[in-house]
Structure 1
Amino acid sequence: MPDIARETTQPCPECGTQIRSDSRFTLWCAACDWNVDPEEPRPDTGRLDRAERALARRHGEQLLAEMLSGREPRPRRDASAVTATALALTVHGVTLALAVGGVWCMVAGWGGVGMVAGLVLVVLAWALAPRVRRLPDDRPVLFRADAPELFALVDEVAQAVGTRSVHAIAVDGSINAGVMTYGVRGRRLLVLGMPLWEVLTPEERIALLGHELAHYANGDTRNGLVVGTAVRTLSLWHHTLRPLAHPSAIEMVVNALYVVPRLLVRGTLVLLVRLTSRAGMRAEYLADRLAARTASTQAAVGLMDRLLITGSLGVLLRSEANRAALGGSRSARQATARADELWGLLTAYAASVPEHEYERQRRAGALRGHQVDATHPPTHLRRACLLGGKPVAAAVVPQARRTERIATELAAARAEVARRLLRDGLGN
């Protein structure tokens, strides 16, 4: 069983204020912020690192001010977005050039030499070409016939945010959610992390769906065909050019030849990610705003609070997986019962997290500031942005009977995910 909450009281070693805390969480002082963020500080790697962090913070403050200005923000293609698109097209152009050059060499022939060179270039172009995502085969995937009520809710949320709905829903053990496309026809897939879904209220679940589907409504370039596939292509190139382990004499030469192309690919990948970060953070704020309009400001703020404790939820899940591993072999009935208990433990734990732990997480986030390589704005700023605007009511209201039917539709996937979590932890 998880640790039992035990209230402790002691004076703050810095200012002497009496601190009341829960023994399960970090002891800290709300009066002077003593021990508010006991994690290891991010190492300072020099002037460039400090300059990048300052730039990220300044940009983040400007973006938040823009969102709180009262104007109706729209996704826009600024110079960074245009440059990112041009860079992505260049990446795809290199792959196309390899394919065209290979075909030309094969047609030219050159007494057979061109055929060999052309074949090598064509194979290389095929190997480095962006791949179309497929439906995952390592987790439960639901279609409309499997979960009509869940899809009906997703359809209603999609209509509220102004976009098309999804074609499939994958359920896994992550404390997260996301959207992506799969197949040559660009079908939409919603990925629901069951641990996150379980700890949310029905209203917060609608806010979560609204946020994820809003990325399609906002035209987020990171999920787009051009930029998204270019990032995956560069990642593949970077992986292909990785140094050979335990090299022989010849392989050491190959590794040396790989150094410059690998650095070039890595630099291009980092540049492309940085160029899309501004538009990406703007898209997150816009998605939060659409989530609030779909599920209400209160529900969207509640979702932000839940995201603050995902680290603690992960610790609990790993602890339960370790406990299950130490328990040894169990019968199928025992394993099923243990999987059912997991979600009860998780929801009870989330419900018991005290407000002072949420507040500590917000203050710790403010101290850490923006991370240059972060794909999302800090959660405390997203929450502040929601609270700084005019409160809005829900466009989609949960229905008790629908919530029950959705739970029934997810029951089999829910049990399967729990069994995998207890067996493998959060690694899979």
Structure 2
Amino acid sequence: MTGEHERTYAAHLGGLRSEPWDEGTSAVLDTVEQHVQACPQCGVEIRTDHRFVAWCAACDWNVNPGQPEPPTGRLEVLRHRLARQHGETLLAEVTTDGTLRPRRDAVGVLALALALAVHGTTAALLVGGLLLVVLGWGSALPLLGALSLLVAWSLRPRFARLPEDEPVLRRADAPELFALVDEIAGTMGTTGVHAVSITAEYNASVSTYGLRRRRLLSIGLGLWETLTAEQRIALLGHELGHYANGDTRHGLIIGNALRSLDTWRYLLSPVEHPTLVEAALNALYLLPRSAVTGVLMTLDHLSLRATQRGEYLADTFAARCGSTEAAVGMMDRLLVADSAAATLLRESNSRQTRRAGAPTGSEAWSGLWERLAAHMDSIPESEHERQRRCSALRGHSVDSTHPPTHLRRARLLTAAALPAAVTMDTARSTALRAELKETRDEVARRVMDGR
């Protein structure tokens, strides 16, 4: 969901104060202390919040102080140009396609065919290894067969497991939450999930686990606790939309093909500071390593197109479930993700420097999510606008699974506004909060413990 977290002011975040929290600290820290100065570039008066980067809205002075260096070399320039062209073409396509239904175009078919060829190579190694072991007795062929079987085993498809270091909820643990997920999924013509993991991240995601490909929804409280009820519905709509639109990049076939190619690249990686024999092996591996790298880059590029299109479609689902206004508001929250991360880090560090009389020990986590939400609510609109302009300046990334946030946001705003198909009244919100209380407290303790 937040593959494009904006990180333009990381240096500034490192300088945020890390003083301890008490009940009044949040209000003191989040008080807007405006500084007035003249823009060094155009002279316009600038009013800045001391917690964020000073910049000029009139001429964009200092709008992106962490701007990366422009690409160098013909290959990098070409990759960035192709990424921009692809992004512009995709944006035009999804803007004119009112339905934006999931579909598999020629690029998707080619990606699937390439992934199947990768798995075919693994199957050939498995079958060939077995034949060499069974039929090659009396020669050195069984050793070669055993090596083939070992490589095939390392390339085998992987099936994720439920996280062991995070709270995982089942239907019996959070019936209200699962009922909300089921309602949102039904709105999109798909089914709900089998489990929900709760983390402290400023993020949310969906995945599958186990041989039966059961569905897992991951909710990061760092994000969840800063959203309104409508924005939470939009968030769930976006994530469940990835199931509805059949995203394939992390699926069984293409996802495992990408892992297999990564494994091949590792197995064929050159030895550093080689001996004479190892130098010969490095030279021998050069051609197959280059071929593997080429296939990996090709499959990665082909699958990225479908994944980015899937993000636009998931945005449509978010607007349909929670309303266009809620979906856009959620994206604005994602633009300032680094501020939330810095706040949680500051909270964790403050435990080591807590002032006398402040909560200690097991009480240090109390009110963590409320303080985070208050801080995020206090972020001025000027900082959101700066991040939107930063997103526009960065443009299309060559390897991002998400289109630029400012384009996703603009696309929703230019389309007809959608009302919320799923609503959450006060009683439902209260019930959700009550059944998540124990998990919220557990994750808050983990944050304060630095885990």
Q: Which bin holds the TM-score, normalised by the shorter protein?
A: over 0.9
SS in 1 for 2:123: helix
SS in 1 for 2:360: helix
SS in 2 for 1:223: coil
Distance in 2 between the 1:296 and 1:161 partners? 14
More helix by proportion, 1 or 2?
Answer: 1
- Superposition deviation, residue 64 in structure 1: 1.9
Greater shift in the superposed pair: 14-23 or 68-77: 68-77
Is contact 2:351-2:360 (8 Å) kept?
no
Q: What are structure 2's unaligned runs of at least 5 residues? A: 1-20
Matched, 1:150 2:177: yes
Out of 242, 248, 251, the residue aligned to residue 224 of structure 1 is 251
Task: Summarize the Cα distance change of 1:418–1:252 in structure 2 as closer, same or farther, 3 Å threshold.
Answer: farther
- Superposition deviation, residue 161 in structure 1: 1.4
Q: Which residue of 2 aligns with 1:105?
A: 132
Q: Which residue of 2 aligns with 1:412?
A: 438
Distance in 1 between the 2:445 and 2:269 partners? 36
State how 1:14-163 maps to structure 2 within 5 Å.
Answer: 14-69=41-96, 71-111=98-138, 113-163=140-190
Q: Which residue of 1 aligns with 2:396?
A: 370
Matched, 1:313 2:340: yes
Q: Which residue of 1 aligns with 2:200?
A: 173
Higher relative contact order (CA 8 A, sep 6+): 2
- Superposition deviation, residue 272 in structure 1: 1.1
Give the structure-1-normalised TM-score.
0.92
Out of 226, 249, 268, the residue aligned to residue 295 of structure 2 is 268
Distance in 2 between the 1:46 and 1:74 partners? 38
Task: Summarize the Cα distance change of 1:222–1:121 in structure 2 as closer, same or farther, 3 Å threshold.
Answer: same
- Superposition deviation, residue 56 in structure 1: 1.8
- Superposition deviation, residue 63 in structure 1: 2.0
Distance in 2 between the 1:30 and 1:334 partners? 43
RMSD in angstroms over aligned alpha carbons? Answer: 2.3
Task: Summarize the Cα distance change of 1:70–1:250 in structure 2 as closer, same or farther, 3 Å threshold.
Answer: closer
Which residue identity does 1:357 align to in structure 2?
A: E
Which residue identity does 2:202 align to in structure 1?
A: I
Q: Deviations over 1:134-167 (max 9, x none)?
A: 1111111111111111111110111011111110
Distance in 1 between the 2:431 and 2:263 partners? 42
Task: Summarize the Cα distance change of 1:140–1:352 in structure 2 as closer, same or farther, 3 Å threshold.
Answer: same
Paired residues, number = 423
Task: Summarize the Cα distance change of 1:338–1:73 in structure 2 as closer, same or farther, 3 Å threshold.
Answer: same
Distance in 1 between the 2:202 and 2:298 partners? 29
Give the structure-2-normalised TM-score.
0.88
- The sequence identity of aligned pairs, in percent, is 52
Is contact 1:280-1:375 (8 Å) kept?
yes
Matched, 1:347 2:354: no
Is contact 1:70-1:389 (8 Å) kept?
no
Task: Summarize the Cα distance change of 1:49–1:420 in structure 2 as closer, same or farther, 3 Å threshold.
Answer: same
Q: Deviations over 1:24-59 (max 9, x none)?
A: 011111111111111132342222222222222222
Q: Which residue of 2 aligns with 1:398?
A: 424
Distance in 2 between the 1:385 and 1:36 partners? 23
Out of 191, 201, 211, the residue aligned to residue 184 of structure 1 is 211
- Superposition deviation, residue 412 in structure 1: 2.3
Is contact 1:336-1:415 (8 Å) kept?
no
Is contact 1:194-1:414 (8 Å) kept?
yes
Distance in 1 between the 2:345 and 2:165 partners? 20
- Superposition deviation, residue 242 in structure 1: 4.4
Distance in 1 between the 2:287 and 2:347 partners? 46
Distance in 1 between the 2:440 and 2:276 partners? 52
Task: Summarize the Cα distance change of 1:85–1:242 in structure 2 as closer, same or farther, 3 Å threshold.
Answer: same
Is contact 2:324-2:419 (8 Å) kept?
yes
Which residue identity does 1:411 align to in structure 2?
A: K
Q: Deviations over 1:363-385 (max 9, x none)?
A: 11111111111110011111001
Out of 25, 36, 40, the residue aligned to residue 13 of structure 1 is 40
SS in 2 for 1:178: strand
Is contact 1:180-1:190 (8 Å) kept?
yes
Distance in 2 between the 1:302 and 1:284 partners? 16
SS in 2 for 1:190: strand
Greater shift in the superposed pair: 392-401 or 69-78: 69-78
Is contact 2:133-2:142 (8 Å) kept?
yes
Greater shift in the superposed pair: 268-277 or 158-167: 268-277
- Superposition deviation, residue 407 in structure 1: 1.6
Greater shift in the superposed pair: 339-348 or 279-288: 339-348
Greater shift in the superposed pair: 108-117 or 152-161: 108-117
SS in 1 for 2:124: helix
- Superposition deviation, residue 116 in structure 1: 2.8
Distance in 1 between the 2:48 and 2:163 partners? 43
Q: Which residue of 2 aligns with 1:422?
A: 448
SS in 1 for 2:249: helix
SS in 2 for 1:25: coil
Which residue identity does 2:351 align to in structure 1?
A: A
